[in-house]
Amino acid sequence: MAKQVKKVQSIDLDMTGLADYFGGYSFNNEIMMIRVTDFNKELIAKAASGLITNSYRLDALTVVLVLEGDLDVSIDYNRYSVPEKSLLLISPVNSITEADISTGGRFFLLTIKRELLDRMGSSGGPKPLPTKDLTDIFQRPHFEMDENSFNSIGKSFENLYKYMKDKRVEIKEYLVIASLSIVMMELFSLVSEREKVSLQAKHVSRKKELMTRFVFLLRDFGEKEHNPAFYADRLFISVQYLSLILKEETGKTASQLIAQHIATRARNMLRMPGATIKQTAEKLNFADQSSFGKFFRKETGITPKKYIESL
C-alpha cells in the first residue's frame, strides 16, 4: 500500500478582517491592499511576527511596492535591503522570516490569493502573471526599477487602491478586476524583462512546468519527504532528469533544494515558543535528534541548540 502523506496546510486568509484591522481594503476576500505608513506599520510587524514563528504558508502572491524609505526583509532566510522605488514579489512558495521598516517608510502591500491569479491566467490573452509564472520569482524576489517603470507601476497601484475603496457596488467588481489586471501586466513586464520571458507566450516550457510542479510538491510534502525519488515519482521522471532540470533553472540540484527547504522549516519551528530540538526533529521526519542536529549544522553552520540560544 502506498504511503499516505499528510499535506502541510496553507493558512486561509481572512482578507476582509485583516484589511479592516490594518486600515486597508479588501475585495471578495481574494484581494487585500494596505497603504503602510508609520501609523500602522507596528500592527503589521506584530502580525508578521506571528506568521514567521508558526508553520503557516500564505497561498497568495504578495507584492510590496516601496514608495519612500526602505525595507529590510528576510525571505527564506535570505536578507534583502529594499530601497525606495523598488518592489518585492513574494510568491506562494516563499516564507517571510524577518522584516524591518525604516522610520518614515511608506509602501503599498498588495496580496492576491492564488485561486484568483489562476483564474486570471486561464482567461485568455496575455497572461497576467498566473502562478505557473512565479517559479523564477521565488529565487530572486527583489526587483529594482528605473524612474519610468516606477512611475508607471506606482500609478497603477494608486488606481487599484482608489477602486478598492470605491463604494459603487454595481460597478466595483469591474473596476477592481480591470485595475488589478493592469497591475499584473505591469509586474509581468518587469518579470519578462529580467527573465527574458515573452509577454505574449502562451505555453510554458516542459522544463519550467516540471520545475513549478516540483516547487509546489516541495511546499506541500517537504517536511516529511526528504528523498528526491519521491518528487521524481510524482512527476513521472527520473531523479537524474529532475536534478538536471532544477540545476539548469536554479543552479541547485533536487537534493540541495530539498535541504534548503527543510532547513528553512527547521529554523521557523525552532523559533516557536517552547519548541524543542527533539520535537522539531520528529516533525521533520528525521530518524533521531542526532541526525537532525548534523543536518542542521551542515546547512546553517550552527547547531540547533546554539540557534535557539541566539534567538
**CATH assignment of the domain containing 219:** 1.10.10.60
Report residue 33 as a C-alpha cell.
491592499
Within this chain, do residues 155 and 64 fall inside the same structural domain, yes or no? yes
Question: CA angle at residue 201 from 211 to 247, to 5 degrees?
Answer: 25
Do the domain assignments include residue 237? yes
Within this chain, do residues 169 and 24 fall inside the same structural domain, yes or no? yes
Do the domain assignments include residue 218? yes
Give bridge partners of residue 213 from the DSSP assignment. none
Do the domain assignments include residue 125? yes
Report residue 79 as a C-alpha cell.
536578507
- What pLDDT is attached to residue 52? 46
Whether the pLDDT of residue 241 is over 80: the answer is yes
- Residues 259 and 248: beta-carbon distance below 8 Å: no
- What pLDDT is attached to residue 9? 42
Q: At 69, which CATH number?
A: 2.60.120.280
Residue ending a domain, choose from 195, 222, 242: 195
Within this chain, do residues 152 and 254 fall inside the same structural domain, yes or no? no
Within this chain, do residues 176 and 222 fall inside the same structural domain, yes or no? no
pLDDT tens track for 178-204: 999 999 888 888 877 776 654 444 445
Do the domain assignments include residue 3? no
Within this chain, do residues 99 and 180 fall inside the same structural domain, yes or no? yes
Rounded-to-integer distance, Cα 181 and Cα 117, Å: 10
Instruction: Give how far Cα 175 sits from Cα of 117, 133, 154, 156, Å.
Output: 17, 25, 17, 12
Mean pLDDT of all residues in 263-280:
88
pTM: 0.68
pLDDT tens track for 73-131: 777 667 788 888 999 888 776 766 666 666 567 889 999 988 888 777 655 544 445 44
Do the domain assignments include residue 5? no
Per DSSP, the three-state class of 1 is coil
Do the domain assignments include residue 7? no
Rounded-to-integer distance, Cα 155 and Cα 42, Å: 26
Do the domain assignments include residue 301? yes
Domain count, the chain: 2
- Using CB atoms within 10 A of its CB, is residue 74 exposed (0-12), middle (13-18) or buried (19+)? middle
Residue ending a domain, choose from 195, 226, 247: 195
Mean pLDDT of all residues in 256-274:
88
Helix, strand, coil in percent for the chain, rounding step 5: 50, 15, 30
Whether the pLDDT of residue 270 is over 70: the answer is yes
Within this chain, do residues 191 and 216 fall inside the same structural domain, yes or no? no
Of 7, 42, 13, which Cα lies nearest the Cα of 29?
Answer: 13
Rounded-to-integer distance, Cα 248 and Cα 142, Å: 21
Within this chain, do residues 190 and 212 fall inside the same structural domain, yes or no? no
Residue ending a domain, choose from 166, 195, 224: 195
Whether the pLDDT of residue 49 is over 90: the answer is no
CA 182 to chain centre: 21
Average pLDDT, the chain: 80
Do the domain assignments include residue 4? no
Domain that holds residue 256: 206-310
Higher-scoring residue by pLDDT: 120, 158: 158
Within this chain, do residues 212 and 186 fall inside the same structural domain, yes or no? no
Within this chain, do residues 247 and 123 fall inside the same structural domain, yes or no? no
Within this chain, do residues 20 and 147 fall inside the same structural domain, yes or no? yes
Within this chain, do residues 245 and 155 fall inside the same structural domain, yes or no? no
For 86, half-sphere exposure in the C-beta direction (CA atoms, 13 angstrom radius) is: 14
Within this chain, do residues 256 and 220 fall inside the same structural domain, yes or no? yes
